[in-house]
Chains A and B, each alone.
Chain A
Amino acid sequence: MKSQRRGQLGEIWHRLKKNKFAVAGLVVVILVLLVTIFAPLLAPYSYDKQDLTKPFLKSTKEHLLGTDKFGRDTLSRLIWGSRNSMAMGLGCVALSSVLGITIGSIAGYFGGQVDNVIMRIMDTLTCIPMLLMCVVIAAILGPSVRNAIIAIGISTMPNSARLIRANILKVRNLEYVEAARAIDAKNYYIILKHIIPNAISPSIVAITMNIGNSILSGATLSFIGLGAQPPLAEWGCMLAEGRNFMRDHMELVLYPGLAIMITVLAFNVLGDGLRDALDPRLRN
């Protein structure tokens, strides 16, 4: 028995703090989020301000990271770009989690035919490659950040659903769920109060890990022209634009590449740490 009262969240935070990597990841994630939020204040220039007299500059005092083909400040484009990249990362995950958790919970709790039908629909969705879905949606609705988010969100939803369903199958047979039934609690109450809070830990970890993946997917889509459209700043777009000049101006590819890599790594490391902190079995 602990002498300090901590409660469940306090326990989790305490365990997370001990993991140096996770803390580092958390710090980086917070920094990136701050850059995203305060982009207008931090970026020295607008993301589409061109200066055709100063293309391909290396680092100077006015342009700390140089300029691109159109004389646009790379640093500013990186900062503004974080908004679109993070929008894709967070937006996709939000969409797929909300949809996936709702659908997966219903399937897992009610079982039987409901479960069958829902999971077969999920299986069908899984068979459609994400890229194909994006191409189709882009063809119908036009390519944009918003539509890329929809495409990625829908194609990653089945994983969310499956994950929570698996944990719900474990939790719904536990006795405290039976106890809730014994006091005549209604189904939706049991799902919301008893089942989801106890089945959601792996999903939380998955969400954190998926943010990294979604940023990558978003960058990929932008890279091939299906996501953020120029002149929007987005790290994937910047990669695409810099690709042609890689031989002489590698920094045009290096900076956005590093931005993607560091952000994704930070989310993954944080996710790993969260999983360890949430797993009660790892306690002595």
Chain B
Amino acid sequence: MGKQNLLEIKDLVVEYQTDDAIIHAVNGVDLVVKEGETLGLVGETGAGKTTIARTILRILPKPQGIVRQGGIFFEGAELLSLHEKAMRKLRGNKIAMVFQDPMTALNPIERVGDQIAEAILLHNNMTKGEAIKRAQEMLEMVGIPGMRYVEYPHQFSGGMKQRVVIAMALACNPKLLLADEPTTALDVTIQAQVLRLINDLKEKVKASVLLITHDLGVVANTCQSVAVIYAGEIVEYGTAEQVFLNPSHPYTQGLFDSIPKLNSTEPRLKPIPGLMPDPTNLPVGCKFAERCRYAIEECKQQIPPNVELEPGHQVKCLLAGSRGEK
């Protein structure tokens, strides 16, 4: 409805090649991030979320990470075939990333202000003085007094370090912010501050956010669209309302059933039995079939189709819409 697609991922397949086996991390992913919105990419460890983020920025570990097929379109340009020089102009500039662990994202022997200024100077034609001034503005924008420019990372708490990382990411006014579990390592009250910060700043600089998380609560409070990822595939995609009010994939439902909620009084949680399949040895057919209580024979033999339940709400399930017990 007027919103353009800022980022489009089509049929992405990514593998990691180790000495012993091939890890099928991403198996045919289609994703869309619209302008000005936050897309929540929800999944558990090993589902492939971080791999997708790294592939967008083309920072997969070499030589293990290999993109087997697919395309990533950003503002029309296809990223995977871009020359490294052109890619460098985008990284940190138009597409920025915030990682999970603020401890390792910052250089411990450089002043925080300098680290922000460095990012600015890389992509802009400014004098050092101008970059420093802009770095101080960014610090203020994330709620840190500008005069703390001269301090070192160890002088900041975990929450403040993450704010510095966000300041660095937003310093060049990116169009797309990739946030990989940005608040998982933080205390709950600090998490609330940082999430609100990301939301506010996103409005201010008019950026879109791809928020990677395992926390459905975070998704409910910050995201307009949701994509649920399992074993390297998007099993459900839709607006936040659609996915939360009408979770249709058995895995999504299982996730909701297995988390303790403050506003309900379930006598017992219903965990999803079993484990995610071994990425070096994926099953044929639906990858969730062995844990799914609705699975029939066909599920284990064919790849489930992508079914559109309602406009904008897609589910990758053979039995979508026709299951008895839902």
Contacts and interface: CB of A to CB of B under 8 A. Distances in A.
Indicate yes or no for A touching B, C-beta below 8 A. Answer: yes
Interface of A: 1-3, 18, 284
Given A18-B19, A284-B16, A284-B18, A1 B64 contact: no
Interface in B61-108: 61, 64
Contacts of A3: 281
Contacts, number: 10
Secondary structure at the A interface, as helix, strand, loop or mixed, is: loop
Contacts of B61: 284
A1 B277 CA distance: 10
Interface residues of B, number: 9
Nearest to B278: A1
Task: Name the residue among A1, A18, A284 with the largest chain B CB count within 10 angstroms.
Answer: A284
B20 A2 contact: yes
B51 to A, nearest CB: 13
Interface of B: 16, 18-20, 23, 61, 64, 278, 281
A284 B64 contact: yes
A229 B278 CA distance: 64
Contacts of B18: 284
A2 B64 CA distance: 18
A94 B11 CA distance: 59
A27 B219 CA distance: 57
Ordered nearest first, which 4 A-B pairs have the shortest CB separation?
Answer: A284-B18, A284-B64, A1-B278, A284-B16
A18 B20 CA distance: 11
A273 to B, nearest CB: 15
A1 B281 CA distance: 10
A284 B18 CA distance: 6
A93 B16 CA distance: 41
A2 B61 CA distance: 22
Contacts of A1: 278
Contacts of B20: 2
Contacts of B278: 1
B235 to A, nearest CB: 23
Contacts of A2: 20
Given A3-B281, A284-B18, A284-B19, 7 more contacts: A1-B278, A2-B20, A18-B19, A284-B16, A284-B23, A284-B61, A284-B64
